[in-house]
Protein backbone atom coordinates (compact mmCIF):
# COMPACT_ATOMS: atom_id res chain seq x y z
CA UNK A 1 0.00 0.00 0.00
CA UNK A 2 2.86 2.38 0.83
CA UNK A 3 4.45 1.73 -2.55
CA UNK A 4 1.12 2.22 -4.31
CA UNK A 5 0.66 5.73 -2.90
CA UNK A 6 4.35 6.64 -3.03
CA UNK A 7 4.84 6.84 0.75
CA UNK A 8 8.44 7.01 1.90
CA UNK A 9 7.68 6.04 5.52
CA UNK A 10 5.27 3.68 7.28
CA UNK A 11 4.08 4.69 10.77
CA UNK A 12 2.88 1.96 13.12
CA UNK A 13 0.83 2.36 16.30
CA UNK A 14 3.13 0.50 18.70
CA UNK A 15 2.94 2.17 22.11
CA UNK A 16 4.88 2.02 25.37
CA UNK A 17 3.03 -1.09 26.55
CA UNK A 18 3.95 -2.99 23.37
CA UNK A 19 7.52 -1.81 23.85
CA UNK A 20 7.79 -3.03 27.46
CA UNK A 21 6.10 -6.35 26.65
CA UNK A 22 8.58 -6.96 23.86
CA UNK A 23 11.49 -6.46 26.26
CA UNK A 24 10.08 -9.06 28.68
CA UNK A 25 9.26 -11.55 25.92
CA UNK A 26 12.77 -11.19 24.47
CA UNK A 27 14.23 -11.72 27.94
CA UNK A 28 12.16 -14.89 28.42
CA UNK A 29 13.37 -16.25 25.07
CA UNK A 30 16.98 -15.47 25.90
CA UNK A 31 18.42 -12.37 24.32
CA UNK A 32 21.33 -9.97 24.30
CA UNK A 33 21.37 -6.20 24.53
CA UNK A 34 19.74 -5.83 21.12
CA UNK A 35 16.61 -7.66 22.29
CA UNK A 36 16.61 -5.85 25.63
CA UNK A 37 16.38 -2.62 23.68
CA UNK A 38 12.83 -3.59 22.74
CA UNK A 39 11.14 -2.20 19.64
CA UNK A 40 13.35 0.24 17.71
CA UNK A 41 11.75 3.67 17.10
CA UNK A 42 12.99 3.57 13.50
CA UNK A 43 13.84 0.57 11.33
CA UNK A 44 14.23 1.26 7.65
CA UNK A 45 10.95 2.69 6.35
CA UNK A 46 9.11 1.95 9.61
CA UNK A 47 8.68 4.66 12.23
CA UNK A 48 6.87 4.34 15.57
CA UNK A 49 5.89 7.82 16.79
CA UNK A 50 3.75 6.53 19.70
CA UNK A 51 6.40 4.26 21.22
CA UNK A 52 6.91 6.48 24.30
CA UNK A 53 3.20 7.05 24.95
CA UNK A 54 1.18 4.75 27.29
CA UNK A 55 -1.83 3.00 25.79
CA UNK A 56 -4.20 4.57 28.33
CA UNK A 57 -3.14 8.06 27.23
CA UNK A 58 -3.77 7.18 23.58
CA UNK A 59 -7.21 5.75 24.39
CA UNK A 60 -8.13 8.85 26.40
CA UNK A 61 -7.16 11.11 23.51
CA UNK A 62 -9.26 9.06 21.08
CA UNK A 63 -12.31 9.19 23.35
CA UNK A 64 -12.01 12.92 24.03
CA UNK A 65 -11.74 13.69 20.32
CA UNK A 66 -14.31 11.19 19.07
CA UNK A 67 -11.79 9.22 17.03
CA UNK A 68 -12.60 5.57 16.38
CA UNK A 69 -10.10 2.77 16.16
CA UNK A 70 -9.98 -0.92 15.32
CA UNK A 71 -9.30 -3.46 18.05
CA UNK A 72 -7.42 -6.55 16.89
CA UNK A 73 -9.83 -9.46 17.41
CA UNK A 74 -6.95 -11.69 18.55
CA UNK A 75 -6.02 -9.41 21.49
CA UNK A 76 -8.09 -11.49 23.93
CA UNK A 77 -6.78 -14.85 22.71
CA UNK A 78 -4.50 -16.22 25.43
CA UNK A 79 -3.14 -18.88 23.09
CA UNK A 80 -0.65 -16.16 22.14
CA UNK A 81 2.26 -15.63 24.55
CA UNK A 82 2.04 -11.83 24.35
CA UNK A 83 -1.65 -11.87 25.31
CA UNK A 84 -1.00 -14.21 28.26
CA UNK A 85 1.72 -11.86 29.42
CA UNK A 86 -0.51 -8.79 29.00
CA UNK A 87 -3.73 -10.17 30.48
CA UNK A 88 -2.53 -12.59 33.15
CA UNK A 89 1.00 -11.74 34.23
CA UNK A 90 1.32 -7.98 33.70
CA UNK A 91 -1.36 -7.03 36.27
CA UNK A 92 0.48 -9.07 38.91
CA UNK A 93 3.80 -7.44 38.07
CA UNK A 94 2.11 -4.04 38.16
CA UNK A 95 0.90 -4.81 41.69
CA UNK A 96 4.57 -4.80 42.72
CA UNK A 97 5.35 -1.56 40.90
CA UNK A 98 2.65 0.48 39.20
CA UNK A 99 5.25 2.24 37.03
CA UNK A 100 6.41 -1.08 35.60
CA UNK A 101 5.81 -0.15 31.96
CA UNK A 102 7.56 3.22 32.21
CA UNK A 103 10.58 1.77 34.03
CA UNK A 104 11.05 -1.05 31.52
CA UNK A 105 10.75 1.38 28.62
CA UNK A 106 13.35 3.65 30.24
CA UNK A 107 15.75 0.74 30.78
CA UNK A 108 15.24 -0.32 27.16
CA UNK A 109 16.17 3.17 25.94
CA UNK A 110 19.42 3.08 27.94
CA UNK A 111 20.24 -0.40 26.64
CA UNK A 112 19.48 0.60 23.05
CA UNK A 113 21.86 3.57 23.22
CA UNK A 114 24.65 1.40 24.62
CA UNK A 115 23.93 -1.31 22.06
CA UNK A 116 24.13 1.22 19.21
CA UNK A 117 27.48 2.46 20.53
CA UNK A 118 28.95 -1.05 20.69
CA UNK A 119 27.60 -1.82 17.22
CA UNK A 120 29.39 1.28 15.98
CA UNK A 121 32.68 0.04 17.42
CA UNK A 122 32.11 -3.39 15.86
CA UNK A 123 31.29 -1.97 12.43
CA UNK A 124 34.61 -0.09 12.36
CA UNK A 125 36.40 -3.46 12.42
CA UNK A 126 34.48 -4.86 9.44
CA UNK A 127 35.33 -4.61 5.74
CA UNK A 128 33.50 -1.83 3.90
CA UNK A 129 31.27 -4.31 2.06
CA UNK A 130 30.58 -8.00 1.65
CA UNK A 131 29.81 -10.69 4.23
CA UNK A 132 33.23 -12.15 4.82
CA UNK A 133 36.13 -11.38 7.12
CA UNK A 134 39.54 -12.72 8.07
CA UNK A 135 39.22 -15.23 10.91
CA UNK A 136 42.32 -13.73 12.49
CA UNK A 137 40.81 -10.24 12.49
CA UNK A 138 37.58 -11.52 14.00
CA UNK A 139 39.38 -13.50 16.71
CA UNK A 140 41.69 -10.59 17.59
CA UNK A 141 38.74 -8.24 18.21
CA UNK A 142 37.63 -7.66 21.82
CA UNK A 143 35.40 -10.60 22.85
CA UNK A 144 32.48 -8.24 23.55
CA UNK A 145 32.54 -7.16 19.89
CA UNK A 146 33.06 -10.50 18.13
CA UNK A 147 29.43 -11.66 18.19
CA UNK A 148 28.33 -8.19 17.11
CA UNK A 149 30.67 -8.31 14.14
CA UNK A 150 29.11 -11.60 13.05
CA UNK A 151 25.57 -10.22 13.45
CA UNK A 152 26.41 -7.12 11.43
CA UNK A 153 27.86 -9.28 8.66
CA UNK A 154 24.71 -11.42 8.63
CA UNK A 155 22.61 -8.27 8.17
CA UNK A 156 24.40 -7.68 4.87
CA UNK A 157 22.94 -10.88 3.42
CA UNK A 158 19.66 -10.69 1.47
CA UNK A 159 17.89 -12.63 4.23
CA UNK A 160 19.31 -10.50 7.03
CA UNK A 161 19.84 -12.28 10.34
CA UNK A 162 16.31 -13.67 10.48
CA UNK A 163 15.91 -16.59 12.94
CA UNK A 164 19.61 -16.49 13.85
CA UNK A 165 20.04 -16.73 17.62
CA UNK A 166 22.91 -16.65 20.09
CA UNK A 167 23.53 -20.37 19.62
CA UNK A 168 24.15 -19.83 15.90
CA UNK A 169 26.47 -16.87 16.52
CA UNK A 170 28.50 -18.94 18.99
CA UNK A 171 28.72 -21.79 16.48
CA UNK A 172 30.01 -19.40 13.80
CA UNK A 173 32.69 -18.11 16.16
CA UNK A 174 33.77 -21.70 16.94
CA UNK A 175 33.89 -22.37 13.21
CA UNK A 176 36.62 -19.74 12.85
CA UNK A 177 38.81 -21.92 15.08
CA UNK A 178 38.04 -25.32 13.56
CA UNK A 179 37.25 -24.52 9.93
CA UNK A 180 34.50 -26.19 7.95
CA UNK A 181 30.91 -25.46 6.96
CA UNK A 182 27.87 -24.62 9.07
CA UNK A 183 24.22 -24.57 8.00
CA UNK A 184 22.16 -21.67 9.34
CA UNK A 185 18.44 -20.75 9.27
CA UNK A 186 16.84 -19.32 6.12
CA UNK A 187 19.20 -21.32 3.87
CA UNK A 188 22.22 -19.34 5.05
CA UNK A 189 25.62 -20.93 5.36
CA UNK A 190 28.89 -20.09 7.09
CA UNK A 191 32.10 -21.37 5.50
CA UNK A 192 35.55 -21.06 7.02
CA UNK A 193 38.51 -22.03 4.90
CA UNK A 194 42.00 -20.66 4.26
CA UNK A 195 41.63 -18.34 7.23
CA UNK A 196 38.54 -16.58 5.84
CA UNK A 197 34.98 -16.64 7.20
CA UNK A 198 32.36 -16.36 4.45
CA UNK A 199 28.64 -15.93 5.15
CA UNK A 200 26.29 -16.58 2.24
CA UNK A 201 22.80 -17.59 1.19
CA UNK A 202 22.55 -20.87 -0.68
CA UNK A 203 20.97 -20.72 -4.12
CA UNK A 204 17.77 -22.77 -4.43
CA UNK A 205 18.34 -26.22 -5.88
CA UNK A 206 17.50 -26.35 -9.59
CA UNK A 207 14.57 -28.56 -10.48
CA UNK A 208 15.33 -32.17 -11.26
CA UNK A 209 15.14 -32.85 -14.98
CA UNK A 210 16.69 -34.92 -17.73
CA UNK A 211 19.09 -33.24 -20.14
CA UNK A 212 18.37 -33.38 -23.87
CA UNK A 213 20.57 -32.73 -26.87
CA UNK A 214 21.03 -29.01 -27.44
CA UNK A 215 20.51 -26.23 -24.91
CA UNK A 216 18.95 -27.00 -21.53
CA UNK A 217 17.86 -24.48 -18.89
CA UNK A 218 18.84 -25.92 -15.48
CA UNK A 219 18.06 -23.50 -12.65
CA UNK A 220 20.19 -20.41 -13.30
CA UNK A 221 22.45 -22.27 -15.76
CA UNK A 222 22.25 -22.88 -19.48
CA UNK A 223 23.79 -26.23 -20.41
CA UNK A 224 24.62 -27.25 -23.98
CA UNK A 225 24.69 -30.98 -24.63
CA UNK A 226 26.29 -32.07 -27.92
CA UNK A 227 28.13 -35.00 -29.45
CA UNK A 228 31.82 -34.62 -30.22
CA UNK A 229 34.02 -36.94 -32.24
CA UNK A 230 36.00 -39.50 -30.27
CA UNK A 231 39.57 -38.47 -29.65
CA UNK A 232 42.06 -40.34 -31.88
Give the strands of the sheet with 46-47, arranged side by side. Answer: 10-11, 46-47, 42-43
DSSP 158: T
Going 205 to 209 to 212 to 214, the CA torsion angle's sign is: negative
pLDDT value at residue 213? 72
Query: Within 10 A of 13 (CB to CB), how many other CB atoms are there?
Result: 14
pLDDT cut 90: percent of the chain above it: 74
pLDDT cut 70: percent of the chain above it: 94
Cα(116)–Cα(122) distance, rounded to whole angstroms? Answer: 10
Residue 206 has pLDDT above 60, yes or no: no
Residue 229 has pLDDT above 80, yes or no: no
CA distances from 79 to 37, 72, 76, 85, 199 (A): 25, 14, 9, 11, 37
Q: List pLDDT tens digits, range 161-202.
A: 778 888 899 999 999 999 999 999 888 999 999 999 999 998
CA distances from 173 to 74, 146, 156, 159, 163 (A): 40, 8, 17, 20, 17
Helix (H) or strand (E) holding 221: strand 221-225
Q: List pLDDT tens digits, range 109-143.
A: 999 999 999 999 999 999 999 999 999 999 999 99
Q: List pLDDT tens digits, range 70-103.
A: 888 899 999 999 999 999 999 999 999 999 999 9
pTM: 0.75
Amino acid sequence: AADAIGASLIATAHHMGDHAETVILNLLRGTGTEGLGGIPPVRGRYIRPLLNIPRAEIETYLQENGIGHIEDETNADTDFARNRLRLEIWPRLASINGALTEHIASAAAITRRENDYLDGLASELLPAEGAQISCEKLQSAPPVLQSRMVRLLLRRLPTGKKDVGAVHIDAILRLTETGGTLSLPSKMQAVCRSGELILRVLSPSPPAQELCWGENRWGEYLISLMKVPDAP
